């Protein structure tokens, strides 16, 4: 039991730019989780942390205190090493879907505890739930059994894992304090450390469609998380990856499952394949497996077999047709030229407004809703050619989705040059 403190004393210490002591951190995190510190007091503290930051010791202690509010999982009984990936969230980011079965097919177990989408970024569980019968909730025993048998699990984090984070994340969401780097880093890493993975690869997104809009802020977040992981004995590296442009050619739940299956079948958009392989190589290296080439495993079809077994093990039918939306609307190119910009935030907002995402926790999402784009930056387009297709079950959603795409793409005159950004911008270890 942490030494008792007073909530106002802790808030004032951080408000005045001080560093919180270990015992203040232990107390306030535990007392907030138990309901002794009130939401309005934690809101004030979260805002003081956003404004004044935390040093490395404070963030490490805050993370440990959040882990201590719940259970820790243990995968040491498995016959193979474990590696997990966490993305800070982006538009069209379906990478977990091909990545988890691919890495499992390479001999490393992937315990992937995932979340649901909130706002313009999609959630992996929402995507998988567009597969008939698939269920996200597993007990810890089911998860362990599936990891041993199939090698990959994508499921919802149980309520027992870092309950402090669940409460604090919901509070941050409604108090303008999501963007605090110490709070993002401790939120993500408390769950990953409590989950008990041996190796962790962080995909820190940078650009308009990401939390972190600049390379400098993404580097700071990545370095904070890598230090937290390493201090806790988890082999952790981070890739900083581009999220100015959305990933692949689709954003939306079933649309992204379809694209992921194309990747597992040996096709799919080049950027999705490239990022999947880059993250797979890091996960395998982190788990100590250096004699398997994930590109060969992808080409061999064994990752597709693992995908099918992974979906079936959680009640899903991998052969069932994916749902499609009832209505669609095509946006065509108004002129000949070169597409030089497709903004991730604009596409993410459009997909959300079409019904692929939710406005509040607990809202239902539409499986078939979303956006397909038929050209990527750098592609030449001709007048009248389809540029984007919008999908939804409710046609009255088109107007607001189209409004969010206004100014979200740009066609330069024919022959214009385009300088593509690499998908992986930096690596932090
Ligand atoms: N994802 C999380 O789990 N927590 C954050 O604070 C931000 C993104």
Q: What is the pLDDT along the chain (429 residues), one digit of tens a residue?
A: 567 899 999 999 999 999 999 999 999 999 999 999 999 999 999 999 999 999 999 999 999 999 999 999 999 999 999 999 999 989 999 999 999 999 999 999 999 998 877 667 778 999 999 999 999 999 999 999 999 999 999 999 888 899 999 899 889 988 889 889 999 999 999 999 999 999 999 999 999 999 899 999 999 999 999 999 999 999 999 999 999 999 999 999 999 999 999 999 999 999 999 999 999 999 999 999 999 999 999 999 999 999 999 999 999 999 999 999 999 999 999 999 999 999 999 999 999 999 999 877 778 899 999 999 999 999 999 999 999 999 999 999 999 999 999 999 999 999 999 999 999 999 999
Q: Which residues line ligand 1 (CB under 6 A)?
A: 88, 169, 183-184, 187-188
What is the spatial distance between Cα 278 and Cα 255, in angstroms, rounded to a whole number? 23
Q: How far is the CA of 76 from the centre of ligand 1 (A)?
A: 26
**Ligand 1 atom closest to 172 (CA):** 6
Fold of 7-68: 1.20.970
Please name the residue whose Cα sits nearest to atom 2 of ligand 1: 188
Nearest to 326 by CA among 386, 249, 390: 390
- In ligand 1, the atom with minimum distance to the C-alpha of 115 is 3
| Domain(s) of CATH 1.20.970.10: residues in the chain | 7-68
pLDDT of residue 157: 86
For the structural domain made of 327-412, what CATH number should be given?
Answer: 3.90.1170.30
The residue contributing the CA closest to ligand 1 atom 6 is: 184
Check residue 119 and give its pLDDT.
Answer: 67
pLDDT at 2: 66
Find out if CATH 3.30.43.10 is the number for domain 83-160+174-313.
Answer: no
Residue identifier of the C-alpha nearest atom 3 of ligand 1:
188
Looking only at the bridges linking them, the beta strands covering 152-156 and 110-114 are: parallel
User: Which atom of ligand 1 lies at the shortest distance from residue 178's CA?
Assistant: 6
The whole-number pLDDT of residue 178 equals 86
Going from the Cα of 368 to the center of ligand 1, the distance in angstroms, rounded, reads 26
CA 117 to centroid of chain Cα atoms: 9
- Ligand 1 site-directed mutation target among 93, 156, 178, 217, most atoms within 8 Å of CB: 178
Here the tokens at position 422 are 């690499």
Spatial neighbors of 311 by CB under 8 A, at least 6 apart, are 128, 131, 134, 317, 318
Segments of the chain assigned to CATH 3.40.1030.10: 83-160+174-313
Return the ligand 1 atom nearest residue 191 CA.
3
Pocket probe mutation, ligand 1, options 169, 194, 361, max atoms within 8 Å of Cβ: 169
Q: Please give the pLDDT value at position 118.
A: 64
Residues of the chain with CATH 3.90.1170.30: 327-412
- Of 49, 66, 88, the residue with max ligand 1 atoms within 8 A of its CB, to mutate for a pocket test, comes to 88
Is the entire prediction scored with pTM above 0.85?
yes
């Amino acid at each position: 039991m942490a030494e008792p403190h007073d909530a106002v004393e802790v808030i004032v210490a951080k408000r005045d730019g001080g560093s919180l002591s270990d015992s203040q951190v232990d107390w306030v995190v535990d007392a907030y989780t138990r309901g002794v510190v009130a939401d309005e007091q934690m809101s004030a503290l979260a805002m003081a942390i956003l404004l004044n930051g935390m040093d490395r010791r404070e963030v490490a202690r805050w993370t440990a205190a959040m882990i201590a509010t719940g259970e820790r999982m243990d995968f040491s009984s498995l016959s193979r090493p474990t590696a997990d990936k966490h993305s800070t969230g982006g538009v069209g980011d379906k990478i977990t879907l091909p990545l988890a079965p691919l890495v499992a097919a390479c001999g490393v177990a992937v315990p992937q505890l995932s979340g649901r989408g909130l706002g313009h970024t999609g959630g992996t569980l929402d995507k998988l739930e567009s597969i008939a019968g698939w269920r996200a909730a597993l007990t810890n025993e089911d998860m362990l059994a599936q990891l041993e048998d199939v090698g990959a699990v994508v499921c919802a984090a149980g309520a027992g894992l870092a309950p402090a984070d669940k409460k604090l994340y919901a509070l941050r969401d409604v108090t303008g304090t999501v963007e605090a780097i110490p709070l993002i880093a401790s939120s993500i890493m408390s769950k990953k450390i409590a989950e008990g993975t041996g190796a962790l690869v962080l995909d820190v997104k940078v650009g308009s469609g990401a939390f972190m809009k600049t390379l400098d802020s993404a580097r700071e977040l990545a370095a904070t998380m890598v230090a937290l992981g390493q201090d806790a004995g988890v082999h952790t590296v981070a890739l900083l990856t581009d999220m100015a442009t959305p990933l692949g050619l689709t954003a939306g739940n079933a649309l992204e499952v379809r694209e992921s299956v194309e990747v597992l079948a040996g096709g799919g958009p080049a950027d999705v394949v490239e990022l999947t392989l880059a993250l797979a190589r890091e996960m395998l290296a982190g788990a100590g497996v250096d004699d398997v080439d994930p590109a060969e495993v992808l080409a061999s079809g064994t990752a597709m077999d693992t995908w099918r077994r992974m979906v079936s093990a959680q009640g899903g039918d991998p052969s069932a047709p994916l749902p499609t939306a009832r209505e669609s609307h095509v946006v065509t190119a108004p002129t000949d030229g070169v597409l030089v910009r497709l903004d991730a935030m604009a596409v993410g907002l459009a997909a959300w407004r079409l019904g692929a995402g939710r406005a509040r926790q607990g809202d239902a999402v539409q499986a078939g809703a979303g956006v397909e784009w038929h050209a990527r930056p750098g592609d030449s387009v001709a007048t009248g050619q389809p540029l984007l297709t919008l999908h939804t079950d409710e046609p009255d959603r088109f107007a607001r989705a189209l409004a969010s795409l206004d100014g979200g793409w740009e066609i330069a005159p024919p022959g214009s040059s385009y300088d593509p950004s690499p998908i992986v911008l930096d690596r932090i270890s």
